A = this chain, B = another copy of it.
Amino acid sequence: MKALKLKHPAQEVTGTFRLENLGPSFFEAAPAENPLLDVFIAGIGTVGSELLRQLEPGGPLSEDFHLIGFCNSKLALIHEEGVQQASFVNRISGQRPVTPTRWPSIVAQLIRHREKSGRGLLFVDATGSREVALLYLRLLNAGVHVVTPSKIANTMPQHFFDQLVAPRENGALFRYEAAAGAGLPIVNTISTMVQNGDTVLRISGVLSGTMTYLFGELEKGVPFSEAVRKAYDEGYTEPDPRDDLSGEDVARKCLILARTAGIRMERDAFTAEDQTPEDLRHAPLGAFFDGLSAYDELWKKRVEEARAEGKVLRYVGTITPEKIEVGVRAVPAESPIGTLRGADNLISIRSRYYQRSPVTIQGPGAGSEVTAQGVLADMRRIADQLSRNTATGS
């Protein structure tokens, strides 16, 4: 999905922070007295800035989560006493407490902060940067929790994933609910099953709202070339629609769900059916759009063939302990997947205990607000595990 238009001032960061645009609450609200966790947000694009908005000082979540900094790819702001203090300093002295973004030094600074403060610290990676993903282990090994909606780290080789999720003496946790299905409780449902002695047998469904939107247009009779163009224009696709058509996004989500279910697998063990015509895969974007109409007839035929059988096309992922399959399938028009509309996702999980009738979860699988909610669900779960009053008797 292309970045949606943001209402939050953080969108205006264009290489320099405008602290004065963070909204009055960032200056005026009293800082939380006893927050559960310090939080740093890396990346303030669509999801990161929405998360900033939901964590607004003085808001209901600021009691629990204390924002000590954030950054984009250019500039970083970290302040021991929180961004409110930084904003205050800025207003009084005009001094901008920002530094150029250098990831290794940000990580080092955060680790020092955590050691000094003695409080829990949580690093949210909303960047989509491979360089940042490769720093997770350093953070985790130093006791800093990591939460991300990104699919980069958790689709690296299995042994890397194993290290990310391994239990640690220092208690640091890695969580990634929003990496598949945005805010829908899919990752958490699967991991709870596995933890509680259930065995996942089959996960299947639709994990790409973009493709569902596209097929919905084709069903209405819109030619393929126009449907792709329309999805692009309306912000339903990645900046290059071929990143959706390739199925790579769905393949990664499937790999993440498989690993969450305890199925050990590498990304190169299965292929995704690429829906980009072969001759257009490496063309410039303009030429790609121009070339699409040559395939309108082919897609029209596919849609009509499915319809003749009472079916519709959907981009479906299926995970079993043996294999992952990702591609276009003709499904009954009246089935739950067939009736999916808009950008909804739908995932069915069959397990030993849910064998006759699966657990099915449906809802929006993209969008900044719900993705931020998925990140917050992870943050909350980690904060819960650190709650200071416990009934252990210790």
Q: Give the B-binding residues of A (Cβ under 8 A).
A: 54, 59-61, 114-115, 117-121, 143-145, 168-173, 183-185, 188-189, 192-193, 195-198, 334, 336, 339, 342-344, 353-354, 356-364, 369-370, 373, 376-377, 380-381, 384-394
On chain B, the residues within 8 Å of A390 by CB distance are: 120, 171, 385-386
Is A118 within 8 A of B393, CB to CB?
yes
In the docked arrangement, what's the CA distance between A185 and B334, Å? Answer: 25
Name the one of B343, B354, B384 contacting A363, with C-beta atoms under 8 angstroms. Answer: B354
- Residue of chain B at shortest CB distance from A361: B361
- Residue of chain B at shortest CB distance from A116: B393
Name the one of B54, B145, B359 contacting A197, with C-beta atoms under 8 angstroms. Answer: B54
In the docked arrangement, what's the CA distance between A54 and B392, Å? Answer: 24
On chain B, the residues within 8 Å of A358 by CB distance are: 363
On chain B, the residues within 8 Å of A117 by CB distance are: 393
Name the one of B118, B192, B389 contacting A171, with C-beta atoms under 8 angstroms. Answer: B389
Is A115 within 8 A of B359, CB to CB?
no
Identical chains in the assembly: 2
On chain B, the residues within 8 Å of A121 by CB distance are: 391
Name the one of B120, B188, B195, B197 contacting A392, with C-beta atoms under 8 angstroms. Answer: B120
Name the one of B193, B353, B357, B391 contacting A120, with C-beta atoms under 8 angstroms. Answer: B391
- Residue of chain B at shortest CB distance from A143: B391
Is A392 within 8 A of B384, CB to CB?
no
Is B357 within 8 A of A393, CB to CB?
no
Is A334 within 8 A of B336, CB to CB?
no
Is B373 within 8 A of A118, CB to CB?
no
Write 23 A-B pairs (CB below 8 A) sorted by A numbering: A59-B197, A61-B197, A119-B392, A120-B393, A121-B391, A145-B391, A168-B391, A170-B389, A171-B389, A171-B390, A172-B391, A173-B391, A192-B377, A192-B380, A196-B380, A334-B339, A336-B336, A357-B363, A360-B362, A360-B363, A361-B362, A385-B385, A386-B392
On chain B, the residues within 8 Å of A359 by CB distance are: 183-185, 361-363
Q: Give the distance to chain B from A189, nearest Cβ to Cβ, in Å.
A: 5
